[in-house]
Structures are given as C-alpha cells and as structure tokens.
Amino acid sequence: MAEPLFREIEHTADLGIEVEADTPQELFRRAGLALFALMVSLERVETREEREQVVQADGWEELLHDWLSSLLHQFLQDGFIAASVTIAELDATRVRARLAGEKLDYDRHAFETEIKAVTYHQLMVKQEDGRWRARVIFDV
C-alpha cells in the first residue's frame, strides 16, 4: 500500500496537515498536492493544462509557505487545480515546478474545503532521522 500523501491534524478553527517524505522534492510535491486535495477531490481532475511555477524565499519554511501560497493564489485567481506536481529544481531558497491540471468545474469536481490562506502558525520544515517533515496550518 502506498504511503499517504498527507495527514490532517486537528487545529482550532483552522485546518492543518503534516507531510513526510524521503526528499525535500517529494515533501514539496506532496504538500502541493495536499493543498489541492483539501480543496477539491482530485479523482476527477484531468491534466488538460500545464503551468510552470517558480517561487523564491529565504529558507525552507518560508519557501514552503510561499510555494503553497502561490498555488492557492492560482486556485483563488482562476480556479486552477493541479492533479500532478513535478518538482524540477529545489533548494532552500528556490522551487521550480511543473503543474498539470485544469480549472475547477463544479459539474465534474467535488469542492471540499475553502482555504483562505497559508499561515505561519506552527509552520515547520525539518529533516529528522533521514526523513523530511513539514507541518502547515491553513486558514479556512
């Protein structure tokens, strides 16, 4: 059985996730897909459109925050949902990724949760015991 993409954590009035992976690339890929999966059931999302996303920041935590915020912005601005995320380049200050998906279609996609923002509250990215771990709290 495949490792789960993420796990939800309880947080008062907000929604949180924890993500684990063997590499930072996989951590960022999973976190990006988790954001979309919390908002829309990804089962019926098709890869009709590809987009490149580049984000720069100062350090892993700020980069993860800004990465997820940029993905959320695409969704809020024009309804784009990624069903596939490929991390092309990643270090502690820059991520470049290819997103494949489509715009939200209420006739085909099951809308799950409205996420308003990615918060800094309890934000964490760390490497521990050979695994990468992240925690993110979303304002809903």
- Determine the pLDDT at residue 102: 98
- Determine the pLDDT at residue 3: 72
pLDDT block averages, 10 residues each, the chain of length 140: 72 84 98 97 96 98 98 97 98 98 95 94 95 96
3-state helix/strand/coil string of the chain = CCCCCCEEECCCCEEEEEEEECCHHHHHHHHHHHHHHHHECHHHCCCCEEEEEEEECCCHHHHHHHHHHHHHHHHHHHCEEEEEEEEEEEECCEEEEEEEEEECCCCCCCECCCCCEECCCCCEEEEECCEEEEEEEEEC
- Determine the pLDDT at residue 14: 86
- Determine the pLDDT at residue 9: 72
| The CATH number of the domain covering residues in 22-113 | 3.55.10.10
Contacts of 73 (CB under 8 A, 6+ apart): none
Rounded alpha-carbon distances, angstroms, from residue 79 to 14, 75, 90, 101, 128: 22, 4, 25, 10, 35
What ranges do the domains of the chain cover? 22-113
User: pTM here?
Assistant: 0.91
- Determine the pLDDT at residue 55: 98
